[in-house]
Structure 1
């Protein structure tokens, strides 16, 4: 697909050999810290674990195979509001297929959705089929780096609405997780006449302050609320730093692949299904390193960090808003999800709610069959 009138151009990932050699060389020259005796993950990524993983990344990980897997799907770039936007666009053969925008978060990438592409585009007699549009967030991966400040959730939502318009989709669904769970509802509010439904995982909900709401919480909801507090108290330093001093941390991450690896792998360890001892037990190690590699090769550490800064400094972010009117489906996975329905219903028109007892913050990688089934069930009911 080439549409020069709309400025849409074919794209193919082709990381130069010199970049692969540079990564290997930098990893080999890493100055490693020591582990403090008797400590583990509670203080961050253990140096012994990180050193072993970095060794695999530099010596055994096959980037070219992962690159080929991504290049198996049609990819494009276009400029929207002065920023390059990269996206996968896979059309279904089904005549009644529904356009669906899939929005990733951080530390995630378009590679998260690879296992969903075949089943979602194919559909069957009992499940809807979809035309898929899978963009890299502005400033993330192959959409980056950012060329100017101001790319907050509202601006990203507007850019994705423009992208769907350029592709000729007048009516479409949206799914998002993490950052995508902020952007997808924003897009629904921006274009309620075009978005048929919003499906999210990792939705953030906040207590209403109503004593009756608090008294009515179930035990599972109380546990979720307690987990959210633990995250705020003991797991959100990365967010506070990126949201307040993005350039400071970005310089370290941009110069050290071992640092970038540690910054990201910590989140896979803390946010995946906690029944797994290590992150690679929940998600294939090569899938994790694919996303780490994308962020490293595209030099987007600064853009990623600045995204948090923009959100934290967006005066409209947490200001009162009218309730979203677009039908909304919410999937809540066992670990890394804190959404509570009675709070969500204050902000969204929730028509579908699922709770799963496995999986974590990265369901497309951890439990793709559960996420696939929930997306199908939600949008199937809207046909």
Structure 2
């Protein structure tokens, strides 16, 4: 360990920060670009294994399905795999294959992957994850996007790919003051793309919170942003249609079902992220089940999360949250983005309140397992310049994670109109 890393550890401990055995201590981020690699201390892995070996299990659910949450048998099986078979070092090798950096923007260190295409006319794109996602969602699409010719695509469809970690997530810093909401993150991404990386023409894509951030960028229209694409259109009308079509009726029923049966996690993080954060930061079991449930509920599966994502994929993402100690700080984005404006209400009300018309070119791909399927008519009403809309036959909320080939081909197709 370098002297600077040791100093950083000492300062963290002196300030009451996380024990270096439990959470990764990030190096300071400069105003320039500092190369970064993921290296979790062996002591942190040993600590995780110790905690997993001493779990105090709850009693079994009283139903025969997932309706009360993750079944005990599924939880035990995933934890057994995490403890005895999963290898975090393989994930480190995968992510460190790509150039990574940290830079300080608006007082916060931002981590990002930046892979330049071998094709000189490539179009820069910033891809933004959400919760409970991370940059891990995009690792399998980077090669498809930067070098389409390796996968039967065209050189003129190539991208220079930028994948940042949202503040409070992954290897970005945790904000120490309120105010880091989607519009502020959008401004940080614009600074990253234009000022730090020097791109004068670029596009943006996102899902989940990444969609909210991408919508905010589209509204702000920063210099160089040509167009944006999302896989979760946030286009809920401010008032329910007086005579809804069949498709709109189904969308409204889906919203009602989400609020009634699926929004408990969001209500907690909207209103009390710090309280749930104690469990997420102290117990790998609590963190894993908080996330594993969403991999079951939000993916395009046949009854089990493993139908859509491998255990290694899910544990890469869960372990990233654990080693960075970001269970609490990631939850605060809900307080910032939803709870700070509508303490008593829901995510969809927040969307309605912020869904002002966007005139930047906007596109969307609809994956059938998404949590909310917006009708095309709602998008056309919210986006005056909709350049792309497509509905694919596989995939869910974690589009790039679940279906990297479909996702990549959608990016090739969607942004062809904005090539030089």
Both proteins in one fold, TM over 0.5: yes
TM-score range, shorter chain: over 0.9
Q: Which moved more, 1:93-102 or 1:30-39?
A: 30-39
**1:223 maps to which residue?**
250
Other structure's SS at 1:353 match: strand
Which structure 1 residue ranges, 4+ long, deviate > 6 Å from structure 2?
none
Q: Does 1:257 align with 2:292?
A: no
Other structure's SS at 1:142 match: coil
How many angstroms apart in 2 are the aligned matches of 1:44 and 1:319? 31
**1:325 maps to which residue?**
359
Once the two structures are superposed, the pairs formed by residues 338-353 of structure 1 within 5 Å of their partners are 338-348=373-383, 349-353=385-389
**2:306 maps to which residue?**
280
**2:217 maps to which residue?**
187
CA contact (8 A) 2:101 2:112 kept: yes
How many angstroms apart in 1 are the aligned matches of 2:306 and 2:292? 10
How far did residue 203 of structure 1 move? Answer: 2.1
**1:370 maps to which residue?**
406
**1:142 maps to which residue?**
171
CA contact (8 A) 2:236 2:378 kept: yes
Once the two structures are superposed, the pairs formed by residues 32-51 of structure 1 within 5 Å of their partners are 32-51=57-76
Match of 1:232 among 259, 269, 272: 259
**Residues 321-367 of structure 1: CA deviation (Å, up to 9, x unaligned):** 65211111111111123222211223223221111222110111211
TM-score (norm 1): 0.93
How many angstroms apart in 2 are the aligned matches of 1:113 and 1:217? 35
How far did residue 272 of structure 1 move? Answer: 0.6
**1:102 maps to which residue?**
127
CA contact (8 A) 1:228 1:338 kept: no
How far did residue 242 of structure 1 move? Answer: 0.4
**1:382 maps to which residue?**
418
How far did residue 312 of structure 1 move? Answer: 1.8
How many angstroms apart in 2 are the aligned matches of 1:130 and 1:376? 9
Q: Which moved more, 1:151-160 or 1:367-376?
A: 367-376
How far did residue 314 of structure 1 move? Answer: 4.6
Other structure's SS at 1:73 match: coil
Q: Give the root-mean-square deviation of aligned CA atoms.
A: 1.9
How many angstroms apart in 2 are the aligned matches of 1:216 and 1:228? 15
**2:233 maps to which residue?**
203
How many angstroms apart in 2 are the aligned matches of 1:262 and 1:5? 36
**2:14 maps to which residue?**
none
CA contact (8 A) 1:85 1:143 kept: yes
CA contact (8 A) 1:144 1:300 kept: no
Match of 2:189 among 160, 167, 178: 160
**Residues 166-201 of structure 1: CA deviation (Å, up to 9, x unaligned):** 110122000101001111121122125421110100
TM-score (norm 2): 0.85
C-alpha spacing 1:9/1:200, structure 2 compared with 1 (3 Å): same
How far did residue 127 of structure 1 move? Answer: 5.0
How far did residue 103 of structure 1 move? Answer: 0.4
Once the two structures are superposed, the pairs formed by residues 51-66 of structure 1 within 5 Å of their partners are 51-66=76-91
How many angstroms apart in 2 are the aligned matches of 1:5 and 1:16? 23
Other structure's SS at 2:171 match: helix
**2:115 maps to which residue?**
90
**1:295 maps to which residue?**
321
